[in-house]
Structure 1
Amino acid sequence: MSDPMFRGVFPALVTPFRNGAVDEDAFVALVERQIAGGVHGLVPVGTTGESATLSHEEHRRVIELCVQTARGRVPVVAGTGSNSTDEAIELMRHAKTVGADAALVVTPYYNRPSQEGLYAHYKALNDAVQLPMLVYNVPGRTGVDISNAVLERLAKLPNIVGIKDATSDLGRASLQRLECGADWVMLSGNDDTGLGYMAHGGHGCISVTVNVAPEQVSAMYNACLAGDWEAALQAQDSLIRLHKALFSDASPSPTKFALAHLGLCSEEVRLPLAPASEASRQEVLAGMRDAGVI
């Protein structure tokens, strides 16, 4: 049975900014709100955390702050991916040093390695740092798609424990579960297909929507884990418009707008991201109403 540490819903945390700098007080308050809302873990500095535009110093600081704030109440899965293997190793080493429970490592983007290159990249990380690692497959952002055949090989390595799958290919999830074995952790990377992913044998979701609606999304995944599919479907129905709205403009701009509307942080994003459009804002507000957040 897969590690119970990696079950349920994990927010892909936003990184709040104020006047161009990381707003540490707002970040701590957001983490506390997530834990109070019942989430099962935390994911700092993933895509939603605007990792692409954080300096290395900021990246490390946000992970450290997340671990310090969590104080062991829930596991912290630190985003440590890079399209340079050496840089990913360095970020993983730091995450381990400050007490993260695991690392989330995106497939190398832009340089588009071969399947063999992908295997070699993750094997190098596995060999360099003794920290549980989740592979993050998001071909829509990276330009590369890691195959189930490579994942089957990676699943045999001691530190590679599972995947964040943002392909929305649910049939692949079922095959992967059979190929990678019962211990392979499977987390959805898409809120809108998260319910279907759970039905295909998934263990949880690294979620954007939970930033905005922690109680509601946590309840949905608790229902899934308990096998209460009727309650999970009802929850999904109330959340689906919010799931969609948070990607109605470049993420995480709509999510930061939602959090700003709730008074939790500024809606500031870093260039090249722009604030959410007016049409996106209206969609987000409608989705928040459906979900019972406002």
Structure 2
Amino acid sequence: MATLKSYSMCSPRLNYGDSYKRNAKWRSPRAAVIPNFHLPMRSLEFKNRTSSESIKSLKLITAIKTPYLPDGRFDLEAYDDLVNMQIVNGVEGVIVGGTTGEGQLMSWDEHIMLIGHTVNCFGGSIKVIGNTGSNSTREAIHATEQGFAVGMHAALHINPYYGKTSLEGMVSHFERVLSMGPTIIYNVPSRTGQDIPPRVIHTVAQSANFAGVKECTGNDRVEQYTENGIVVWSGNDDECHDARWSHGATGVMSVASNLVPGLMRELIFGGKNPSLNAKLMPLIKWLFHEPNPIGLNTALAQLGVVRPVFRLPYVPLSLAKRVEFVNLVKEIGRENFVGEKDVKVLDSDDFMLIDRY
């Protein structure tokens, strides 16, 4: 063991008396953090409110859009109308502040406020899943703590992105947040830059709070999990029909259901329906022509459901794509889309791009 050495210092030497031992052995300080001491979600109130089992049964979950006012703040009136449209059309859950809802552009105060607002207004009618994931374990813990405190039914957690980590680090990250309440793990390597391999999922699936996986790598992976009793939701609208009816997926976490919730419910609940799937495919391909949520934001604005306000760096689709969307609505039927206004092609000048909010 290394020993402390005496060094000359500029400041006067303090007199500690005879008890001071210049050559005393160095001891590392004891850890100040008690494992899981920071996790308060142990109350009976919390346990009675939600469980992973109540989440596992959900089939149609919408990754809900967040609308904005011209000054960039949340348009809660438009948001409430949009969530109500989901409930009326049979959607069972919403993901609040996910990629589609632009959680990446929110402050954590905004994020938790919107989760709490959704619970307060709709928590009795629909399951509220808060995206409280982060590439920082500390932030993920803090946000998840707050999300459950304001009443969300489950958390959605992505693997640490950009900086990434080892597989062991991934497991440790997920274990910390899983201990707080019902949790869905979200695997989307195209955004994080790192796949969550099955051995990580099988390890964390031992937790009672593990509800399942939102999987975006394809239906081979979906089937691999379902064959082993793990609940999976497809994260890809273009694959969700086959995932549900041919590969054992429980359902879908959908972007398209923002626009056509009734048709998506029919697709997920009504049995194999290749003709409906084919009918929706041009719309789904249009939605993802540019990175999500650019297409969705443009579509909802042209349907008159939200104001045409974009928080940068998102900007609307090109005029040609905006015209294409109007034609798609006419082909599929305006009555199948949310909102009551006529769909129209918006001019570029109709859109507001907000860089400070």
TM-score, normalisation: structure 1: 0.91
Deviating beyond 2 angstroms after TM superposition, the runs of 4 or more aligned structure 1 residues are 2-7, 282-294
Q: Which residue of 2 aligns with 1:187?
A: 233
Q: Does the C-alpha gap of structure 1 residues 203 and 4 become closer, same or farther in structure 2, counting only changes over 3 Å? A: farther
Q: Structure 1: which amino acid aligns with 2:231?
A: V
Q: Which structure would you say has the larger RCO, counting Cα contacts within 8 Å and 6 or more residues apart?
A: 1
* Match among 90, 95, 114 for residue 43 of structure 1: 95
Mapped partners of 2:154, 2:164: distance in 1? 25
* 2:128 is the counterpart of 1:82: no
* Partner-residue secondary structure (3-state), 2:61: strand
Aligned counterparts of 2:275 and 2:251: Cα–Cα separation in 1: 17
Distance in structure 2 (CA, Å) of the matches to 1:101 and 1:72: 11
1:193 is displaced (CA, Å) by 0.5
User: Is 1:172 paired with 2:221?
Assistant: yes
- Give secondary structure in 1 for the equivalent of 2:203: helix
Q: What is the CA–CA distance in structure 1 between the aligned matches of 2:126 and 2:79, rounded to whole Å?
A: 16
Q: 1:23 aligns with which of 75, 92, 96?
A: 75
Name the residue aligned to 1:222: 269
Number of equivalences? 281
Return the alpha-carbon distance in structure 2 between the equivalents of residues 166 and 114 of structure 1: 20
Query: Which of residues 51, 59, 63 is equivalent to 2:115?
Result: 63
Matched, 1:291 2:325: no
Structure 1 residue 291: Cα displacement: 3.1
Structure 1 partner of 2:188: 138
Q: 1:152 pairs with 192, 199, 202, which one?
A: 202
**Which consecutive unaligned segments of at least 5 residues does structure 2 have?**
1-51, 336-357
The answer as to whether partners of 2:132 and 2:155 remain within 8 angstroms in 1 is: yes
Unaligned runs of 5+ in 1: none
RMSD: 1.6
Amino acid at match of 1:32: N
Q: Residues 217 and 291 from structure 1, CA distance in 2 versus in 1: closer, same or farther, beyond 3 angstroms?
A: farther
Contact kept, 8 Å, 1:15 with 1:45, in 2: the verdict is yes
Counterpart for residue 12 of structure 2: none
Percent identity between the two aligned chains: 35
Distance 2:284 2:267 in 1: 13
Which amino acid is 2:122 matched to? A
Give 1:211's aligned residue. 258
1:154 Cα offset (Å) = 0.9
**Contact residue 253 and residue 267 of structure 1 kept, 8 A:** no
Contact preservation (8 Å) 1:16, 1:22: yes
Residue by residue, what CA displacement relative to the aligned partner does 1:135-173 show, whole Å, maximum 9, x if unpaired? 000000011100011111111112122111111x21121
Q: Given the superposition, is the C-alpha separation of residues 291 and 4 from structure 1 closer, same or farther in structure 2, using an over 3 Å criterion?
A: farther
Give 1 or 2: higher helix fraction: 1
Match of 1:8 in 2: 59
Tell me if structure 2 keeps the 8 A contact 1:239–1:287: no
Distance in 1 (CA, whole Å) between partners of 2:93 and 2:211 is: 16
Cα distance in 2 for partners of 1:86, 1:280 equals 41
* Cα contact 1:3–1:185 (8 A) shared by 2: no
* Superimposed CA distance per residue, residues 69-116 of structure 1 (whole angstroms, 9 cap, x where no aligned partner): 213112111111100011111111111111111111111111111111
SS where residue 295 of structure 2 aligns? helix
Kindly name which structure, 1 or 2, has the bigger radius of gyration based on alpha carbons: 2
> What is the alpha-carbon distance in structure 2 between the residues aligned to residue 276 and residue 105 of structure 1?
29
State the distance in 2 between where 1:91 and 1:99 align.
12
8 Å CA contact 1:239–1:290 kept in 2: the answer is: no
Structure 1 window deviating more from structure 2 (43-52 vs 278-287): it is: 278-287
Say whether 1:202 aligns with 2:249: yes
SS at match of 1:21: coil
